[in-house]
Amino acid sequence: MRLAVIGHPIAHSLSPVLHEQWLRASGLFGRYEALDVTPDEIEDLFQQMRDGVWDGFNVTIPYKEAVIPYLDTLDVAAEAAGAVNTVYKRDGKLIGTNTDGAGLVAALDRWTDWTGHVLVIGAGGAARGIISALPTRDVTVTNRTMERAERLADAFGIEAQALTDVEIARYDVIIQTTSVGMDGVDSPRSLKGLRQNTVVCDIIYRPLVTPFLKEAAKADAKIVNGTAMFVGQGALAFEYWTGVRPDQLVGMKLIERLLEE
């Protein structure tokens, strides 16, 4: 079995370590590579998959939309997200899916039953994929640019609010989907008023604990770092390719250990 993640740049990716560990644990013979590809190489790469050279791909920045013309079809998750992060083959056809949202939801199931109010911070592709997978429509989306929040909210029939108007105490689950915090300094907004035991997730995993999560921890919230989404989406992709459901907890411990080194 030959698998890969494609993107540019890609050297920083932890996907090969994660998936090769799962391949070994599952007793499957194969390898998982990181391929740094240029736009003009994409078509040939998917032709190779049709020819049996590759069994599956993960797709990351900047190609989550660019690969769509080279696929035969998109499933419901990819259609809803407007982007592809996993490609698998069935009956000779290349199918694009998006496991980001479903992977995060599955990971967060350990902390919430989704009966309360959910706040999603951000209105980009990650937010769209996550909202499409949420098992509730009691969701508010907020963003610095209100127009983008309203557009995303209209697409899913949910509420939109300006970032400065959000009442944090109202929410039981808060999911931060923007890149703010990757510098280890900034936060998308204050969590003043955060209730104890609120589930607060930041999909950033470098750093493992962002300023946003540090503030949440001070309020005794249940904090969930970005490894939940990274490992969750990877586990679903692995299952599409192999039919095997890998151990996500082992995967999270592996990735967290690597990020702490």
CA separation for the pair 65, 127 (Å, rounded):
15
Question: Cβ atoms within 10 A of the Cβ of 103, count?
Answer: 26
Is 71 annotated for ligand binding?
A: no
Residues 123 and 158 in one domain: yes
Residues 199 and 251 in one domain: no
The boundaries of the domain holding residue 238 are 2-98+228-260
Residues 204 and 249 in one domain: no
Residues 112 and 212 in one domain: yes
The CATH number of the domain where 80 resides is what?
A: 3.40.50.10860
Residues 107 and 64 in one domain: no
Q: Which helix (H) or strand (E) holds 142?
A: strand 139-143
Residues 57 and 45 in one domain: yes
Q: Which residue out of 64, 89, 93, 218 is catalytically annotated?
A: 64
CA separation for the pair 2, 4 (Å, rounded):
7
Is 15 annotated for ligand binding?
A: yes
Residues 39 and 128 in one domain: no
Residues 219 and 255 in one domain: no
Is 146 annotated for ligand binding?
A: yes
89: annotated active-site residue:
no
Residues 128 and 221 in one domain: yes
pLDDT in tens, the chain (261 residues): 999 999 999 998 999 999 999 999 999 999 999 999 999 999 999 999 999 999 999 999 899 999 999 999 999 999 988 899 999 999 999 999 999 999 999 989 999 999 999 999 999 888 999 999 999 999 999 999 999 999 999 999 999 999 999 999 999 999 999 999 999 999 999 999 999 999 999 999 999 999 999 999 999 999 999 999 999 999 999 999 999 999 999 999 999 999 987
Is 143 annotated for ligand binding?
A: yes
CA separation for the pair 206, 243 (Å, rounded):
30
The CATH number of the domain where 171 resides is what?
A: 3.40.50.720
Residues 195 and 243 in one domain: no
Number of domains the chain is built from: 2
Is 14 annotated for ligand binding?
A: yes
